[in-house]
Amino acid sequence: MKPIYVLNGPNLNRLGQREPEIYGHMTLVEVEAICRDAAGDWPLEFRQSNSESEMIGWIHEATDDGGGIIINPAAFTFYSMAIMDALKMFPGPLIEFHISNIHKREKMYHHSLVSGVATAVMAGLGAPGYRIAVLELLRLMKGR
């Protein structure tokens, strides 16, 4: 069983404090617990970084060792061609995840560089939506 990688981008370490009217009150520690519970016995690597280079390194690691990726690229979504290029190399299922509905927000949040390389895109379900993302990624991985 190759692990699921749940990768979280910049400022997501501030969940629960950062703009709770948009992102809710759930912390990243609570999100990780939801993901681990949904994965059950399936191995899961849960990570967060404010560094683009660290995120790219983790995507490379997932490309070599992982079975699936759930990525909430946060601000990297809209400008990081380097993350997009790294994700292009990933051979398994890839879910782009956003806590808020990025299409309902300001125009600068409407164009994702990641969506074009993702297997699926999930947005607007709030932090509890990570559970659905993990369950769906498992379904996609088992279908391969």
Known binding positions for substrate: 72, 85, 99-100
Residue 71, amino acid: I
For the annotated catalytic residues, the residue numbers are 23, 98
List, edge to edge, every strand of the sheet that includes 94-98. Answer: 44-48, 4-8, 68-72, 94-98, 120-123
Binding site: residue ranges? 72, 85, 99-100
Instruction: Give dist(CA 35, CA 116) in Å, integer.
Output: 24
CA torsion angle for 60, 127, 141, 55 (degrees, to 10)? 0
